[in-house]
Chain A
Amino acid sequence: SQQGEEDPQALSIQEGENATMNCSYKTSINNLQWYRQNSGRGLVHLILIRSNEREKHSGRLRVTLDTSKKSSSLLITASRAADTASYFCATDAGGNEKLTFGTGTRLTIIP
């Protein structure tokens, strides 16, 4: 069974706008990670947030984590055409680096 569920399943925005994706999960976690997947390629790690952290930034990425609601969000600011990809959240429940992935959000940036 999937640990994470991303919302929305698909999102289309104009270049330059901000994109927000949400992830909900079911069990307690050690950390939560976000990955990007370009069409036909493998996944690339974007950011990791620990269970005792509430917010983390990396460049144009901002991730929040609310463990009480078992949810996380990924914000991409000032989107670019190159951000077009699928985005997945993944949870590590036991701190053993065994990840459980959500179903992903397909993001399309319209030039």
Chain B
Amino acid sequence: DAEITQSPRHKITETGRQVTLACHQTWNHNNMFWYRQDLGHGLRLIHYSYGVQDTNKGEVSDGYSVSRSNTEDLPLTLESAASSQTSVYFCASSVGSTGYTEAFFGQGTRLTVV
């Protein structure tokens, strides 16, 4: 079955380190998204991509970067981890053909910056 997977599921890192969270989908979806979820804020969009070599900034993009070198993967990099980036991160994908399709979410990565 097609799916979207995130790795690792849990990560503890130190302030100032570079961290990369992986997201891989096997639906061949054009669109991929990264969100962070914090108590009281719901999900907020970090970066998104509508296809290979396309990346865009979301609502809370400072301190994060993404790259899209193939259809299946959209890794999220924290350039220099900060305590404010402690959060649960979700990757999602959608077809991207009609504007009326659902998003499929990964299981999330819980990141703690100490």
Contact = CB atoms under 8 A, between A and B. Distances in A.
A48 B59 contact: no
A33 interface: yes
Given A1-B59, A41-B107, A44-B105, A97 B99 contact: yes
Contacts of A98: 33, 45, 48, 58
A92 B107 CA distance: 22
A95 B96 CA distance: 10
B103 A97 contact: yes
A97 B43 CA distance: 15
A43 B45 contact: no
Contacts, number: 67
Interface residues of A, number: 28
Interface in B36-55: 40-45, 48, 50
Contacts of B100: 30-31, 48, 50, 95
Contacts of A41: 107-108
A102 B42 contact: yes
B75 interface: no
Interface of A: 1-2, 4, 30-31, 33, 35, 40-45, 48, 50, 88, 90, 92, 95-104
